[in-house]
């Protein structure tokens, strides 16, 4: 009774009840086993600068999770109780970015450390749209509130470089040991706040080979449509993380199972239905994972050129069948596919140009009999185009002889390259000469004319016209037309002005005599 009276009085006078703060688990160096030398020097220096100014500073998120699993982190994030303006004053080179939630990028040459302020748990000041997605969240709070605002328990771990302790508010250490991805809070509400968390759950589970908690997994199928409300630039960034996490094949498979691929890569289903489309994409994703596993980089333009190639190639062949030239057919097919994909996923213009270059090189690399082949080596995306052709040849879509020729062409010197081009030109010339000796395939008009000569009545004429125009297959009655012999020399035509000039000269000579 007295407790209720006290609560009523506090509410009446505007005093808020202090929430029950769960005491975190502090994990010592001997328990977690993280070696401080594995942490980025830039992240350590960022924390040291903030702590020297009297602020708290921790390495947080996926970097701590990866260090606990013995995986080398791709990047390091720092969190602190300093505001963005205070962070900037503590660092030598730093810029404030972001609109939805302000961050600070601390720059050390090419290395960038993302530094954020503790976020508040209170919803006062947080702006959401009609779908429930957070669009403005620049409300700062305490460390325990920031932990509650994190997406998954395994990402809510804080590493203090000065004490080498890990602070765990939500049993993230236990979930890492159990290899489980678990959402902090109600998954239904957390997905509404930020639908990209559904893609993160798929990526983290695939990358680490973890299981997704049932409560975390259940709402995804029903809330997949929320991704339609996410800005295209954010979707592009997340799609790149999915494709470059080292488990692209598994990510694509899980995205399709949960029906999330339609909102990220709407043309993926169409590409998989193309002839050999699934075979090509699976092989490409495996090669990408192998390359990333060896520590090599993969360009975004190459990845999207691979994903969208089956559909582009089909449109290219359709345009060729309509009589368009090869280059123009490829350009128009590329524009059509990239425009449709860009309606949902904002591929940056510089990547769009590179994708088109890679596809056009698939035609240009077939031409090896002129000095233009030397110029192809100077194209910035030549190596990507060559790798793409190599990928296609491994599945039998391109003659291996062409790929071997370009492999050798890159390795030899200038004189050897010119000799290779000369030999290829001679080879093509001989092939053209041999084709000239073959009888030409008769056209419909020629066959109709030949059959008309043998017709004896108007009924036969009508039957011949109907047969040739509607039911005739040009590949069958090849012998119906008498073709000219190949070795018959062509009669030279002389210019009329030369003949008149010769006649005039002879007449002049006759008159002089």
Report the C-alpha gap between 82 and 142 in whole angstroms.
10
Secondary structure of residue 104 in the 3-state scheme: strand
Instruction: Let me know if 75 is a catalytic residue.
Output: yes
20 tagged catalytic: no
Of 287, 344, 279, 350, give the one whose Cα is nearest residue 309. Answer: 279
The Cα 431–Cα 446 span in angstroms is 27
Token pair recorded at residue 334: 């590329």
To the query of whether residue 189 is one of the catalytic residues in this protein, the response is no
Q: Do residues 377 and 385 make contact, with C-beta atoms less than 8 angstroms apart?
A: no
Per DSSP, the three-state class of 117 is strand
The CA distances from residue 1 to 4, 6, 333, in Å, are 5, 9, 76
- Considering only CA atoms, which of 364, 362, 384, 391 is closest in space to residue 376? 364
DSSP secondary structure string for all residues of 294-354: TT----HHHHHHHHHHHHHHHHHHHHHHTT--HHHHHHHHHHHHHHHHHTTS---HHHHHH
User: What's the token pair of residue 14?
Assistant: 């505007």
Q: What are phi and psi of 175, to 5 degrees?
A: -70, -30
Could you tell me which of 351, 258, 349 has the C-alpha nearest to residue 307? 351
Are 29 and 164 in contact, with CB atoms under 8 Å apart?
yes
**Which residue in 73, 68, 60 sits closest to 103, CA to CA?**
60
Which member of 77, 175, 194, 213 is catalytic?
77
Q: Which two tokens stand for residue 418?
A: 């010119």
| Catalytic residue from among 66, 137, 146, 151 | 151
Whole-number Å distance between alpha carbons of 488 and 482: 14
With H, G, I as helix, E, B as strand and everything else as coil, classify residue 77.
strand
C-alpha dist (Å) from residue 158 to 153, 189, 205: 11, 24, 21
Cα distance between residue 354 and residue 333, in whole Å: 15
Q: From CA 170, how far away is CA 151, in angstroms rounded?
A: 11
What residues contact residue 344 under an 8 Å CB cut-off, 6+ apart? 232, 235, 263, 264, 266
Taking the C-alpha atoms of residue 118 and residue 139, their distance in angstroms, rounded to an integer, is 9
Partners of 95 in beta bridges: 105
Residues designated catalytic: 75, 77, 151
């Amino acid at each position: 009774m007295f407790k209720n009276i006290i609560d009523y009085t506090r509410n009446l006078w505007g005093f808020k009840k202090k929430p029950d703060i769960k005491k975190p688990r502090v994990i010592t160096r001997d328990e977690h086993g993280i070696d401080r030398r594995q942490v980025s020097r830039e992240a350590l220096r960022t924390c040291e600068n903030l702590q020297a100014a009297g602020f708290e500073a921790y390495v947080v998120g996926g970097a701590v999770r990866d260090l606990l699993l013995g995986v080398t982190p791709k990047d390091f994030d720092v969190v602190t109780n300093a505001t963005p303006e205070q962070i900037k004053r503590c660092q030598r080179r730093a810029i404030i970015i972001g609109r939805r939630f302000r961050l600070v990028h601390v720059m050390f040459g090419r290395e960038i450390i993302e530094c954020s302020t503790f976020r508040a748990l209170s919803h006062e000041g947080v702006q959401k749209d009609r779908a429930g997605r957070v669009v403005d969240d620049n409300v700062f709070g305490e460390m325990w509130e920031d932990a509650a605002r994190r997406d998954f328990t395994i990402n809510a771990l804080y590493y203090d470089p000065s004490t080498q302790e890990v602070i765990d508010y939500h049993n993230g250490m236990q979930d890492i040991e159990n290899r489980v991805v678990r959402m902090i809070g109600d998954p239904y509400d957390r997905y509404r706040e930020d639908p990209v968390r559904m893609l993160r759950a798929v990526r983290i589970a695939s990358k680490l080979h973890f299981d997704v908690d049932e409560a975390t997994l259940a709402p995804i199928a029903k809330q997949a449509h929320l991704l339609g409300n996410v800005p295209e630039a954010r979707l592009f960034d997340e799609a790149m993380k999915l494709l470059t996490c080292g488990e692209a094949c598994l990510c694509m498979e899980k995205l399709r199972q949960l029906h999330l691929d339609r909102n990220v890569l709407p043309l993926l289903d169409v590409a998989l239905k193309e002839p050999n489309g699934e075979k090509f994409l699976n092989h490409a994703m495996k090669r990408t994972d192998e390359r990333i596993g060896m520590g090599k980089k993969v360009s975004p333009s190459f990845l999207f050129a691979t994903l969208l190639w089956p559909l582009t190639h089909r449109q290219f062949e359709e345009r060729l069948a309509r009589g368009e030239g090869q280059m123009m057919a490829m350009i128009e097919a590329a524009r059509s596919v990239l425009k449709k994909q860009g309606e949902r996923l904002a591929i940056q213009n510089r990547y769009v140009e590179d994708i088109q270059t890679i596809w056009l090189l698939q035609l240009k690399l077939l031409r090896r009999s002129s000095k233009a082949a030397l110029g192809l080596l100077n194209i910035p995306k030549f190596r990507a185009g060559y790798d793409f052709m190599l990928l296609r040849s491994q599945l039998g879509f391109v003659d291996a002889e062409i790929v071997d020729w370009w492999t050798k062409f890159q390795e030899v010197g200038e004189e050897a390259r010119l000799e290779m081009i000369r030999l290829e030109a001679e080879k093509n010339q001989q092939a053209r000469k041999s084709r000239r000796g073959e009888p030409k395939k008769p056209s419909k008009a020629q066959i109709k004319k030949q059959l008309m000569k043998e017709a004896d009545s108007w009924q036969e004429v009508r039957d011949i016209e109907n047969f040739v125009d509607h039911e005739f297959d040009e590949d069958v009655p090849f012998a119906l037309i008498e073709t000219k012999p190949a070795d018959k020399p062509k009669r030279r035509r002389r210019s009329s002005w030369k003949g008149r000039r010769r006649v005039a000269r002879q007449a002049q000579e006759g008159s002089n005599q």
